[in-house]
Amino acid sequence: MSPLWLSLEVALLALVHIIVVGLLLNYILKRYDVKGKALIDSVLTLPLVLPPVVVGFALLVIFSPGGAFGAWLQSIGIQVVFSKMGAVLASSIIGFPLFYQTVRAALSSIDPAVEDVARTLGASELRIFFTISIPLAWKGIVTGAILAFSRALGEFGATILIAGNIPGLTRTMPLAIYSLVEVGDYSGAFTIVVYICALTLGLLWSVHLITKGGLFGQRR
């Protein structure tokens, strides 16, 4: 059961980072006329289309103790490579585009007139975002969070490069399946496959209920 609990821990920690950074970037890009917005949007979405192993290699180059930045981090006691932090970082980056794009679409669908009324009443942009925009876009935010969590839960390619496959430390469910198949333990691998499929199916079913209005309200 160790890979199951470790996967849930890593995915939850990644989700916290994804939500904080995702909402912050959506706020900045929505409220301010940032130069190169299209390029920034493309870069933020890039991990969604790149092979995860490419993301993992990039992270390994950046955070490896053999590089300047990685060596500096290690000198202050922060180890990313072959650590749980590395697994969380990989899952965060791979899952981020799903949350970012889903929330972006939800915020874009809000009627601008609603926010304009709040502006005429003297509300600040930050207050409008948190008291009007986010409540109106809650379905997109919850859906994006579930999709990002599901993606983080099943992350493999980037994790194995930056965090390795260390039992009890970085061996999440996908890595455990890989390891068990390598040694011929198909029964153990199948058990973990059932766990991850059941979890993912339940999460995707929740997304369906939310989008159809059946989880927190009656469908109209």
**What pLDDT score does 1 carry?**
78
**What pLDDT score does 209 carry?**
84
- Domain coordinates of the chain in residue numbers? 2-171
The amino acid at residue 160 is I
Global pTM value:
0.91
Query: d(Cα 98, Cα 60) in Å, to the nearest integer?
Result: 23
**What pLDDT score does 220 carry?**
45
Q: What is the mean pLDDT of each run of 10 residues along the chain (220 residues)?
A: 92 97 93 86 94 95 92 93 95 97 94 89 89 93 95 94 92 95 94 94 88 57
Token code pair at residue 154 = 């099943």
Segment 15-18 long-range contacts (CB within 8 Å, at least 24 positions apart): 15/95, 15/145, 15/148, 15/149, 15/152, 17/88, 17/92, 18/92, 18/95, 18/96, 18/99, 18/145, 18/148, 18/152
**What pLDDT score does 34 carry?**
81
2-171: CATH topology is MetI-like fold (1.10.3720)
